[in-house]
Amino acid sequence: MLFLASFVLLASACSDGDLCAQAPRCDDSEAINCETGCTVGPCSTGPTVQECNEGTSCTVIPGDREDARFYRSRAVCAKSLSACDPAAAPPPVCEGERFVTGCSAYRRDIRVPCSQAGLYFAQVPACCRGGAADGGADAGTADGGSDAGTPDAGTGDGGIPDAGGTRADAGR
């Protein structure tokens, strides 16, 4: 009986469990992250698992401790492991309506779901923001209207309406 109890305990310790407690990490070709709250959109809260495909590989990138927005370490699907300069790189671009690619604030050329673009890019393309006319230059922080200065990340769920539906290829 003791053996069976030990086996069950060991098996449960190796299961997926709480992904937020394990994030950020790479699990084979999956980038696992967790966001507890969003200040800019689009961004969704909770654990996300992104399959690194389309010529990308998973790697964990440390955050910038000097940056209030991009201070957290993140598991990313990198197109290249070489560093890039987001200030000198062209703005990120959309791959269809579901993904965005480009040189991120984490100084890597990455591919992420639109639903998480606000976590990786200072400038989010309009296709990820529900068709914003300004191209996302403010990444959802203010639109100059009567609510200027307030986040426009969507509803209290962190912006899921801005990012469209959730499919397996856009993070889970």
The tens digit of pLDDT for each residue in 67-82 reads 988 999 999 999 998 9
Q: Is the predicted pLDDT of residue 120 greater than 80, yes or no?
A: yes
Q: Is the predicted pLDDT of residue 9 greater than 70, yes or no?
A: no
Check if the beta carbon of residue 129 is closer than 8 Å to that of residue 42: yes
Of 63-67, 95-99, 145-149, the poorest mean pLDDT is in: 145-149
Q: Which tokens belong to 134?
A: 């300004």
pLDDT of residue 63: 92
Distance, in Å, from the CA atom of 162 to the CA atom of 154, rounded to the nearest integer, reads 6
Q: In this predicted model, which residue has the larger pLDDT, 109 or 22? A: 109
Q: In this predicted model, which residue has the larger pLDDT, 5 or 47? A: 47
Percent of the chain with pLDDT over 70: 66
pTM of the model: 0.65
SS3 content of the chain, % helix, strand, coil (to 5): 20, 25, 55
Confidence of residue 97 (pLDDT cuts 50, 70, 90): confident
Q: Give the H/E segment covering residue 103.
A: strand 99-103
Q: Give the closest residue to 107 by CA, choosing from 91, 89, 84, 80.
A: 84
Residue 142: what residue type?
A
Distance, in Å, from the CA atom of 142 to the CA atom of 26, rounded to the nearest integer, reads 33
pLDDT of residue 23: 92
In the chain, where are the structural domains located? 18-142+153-163
Residue 5: what residue type?
A
> What is the average pLDDT across 137-153?
36
Q: In this predicted model, which residue has the larger pLDDT, 166 or 31? A: 31
pLDDT of residue 138: 41
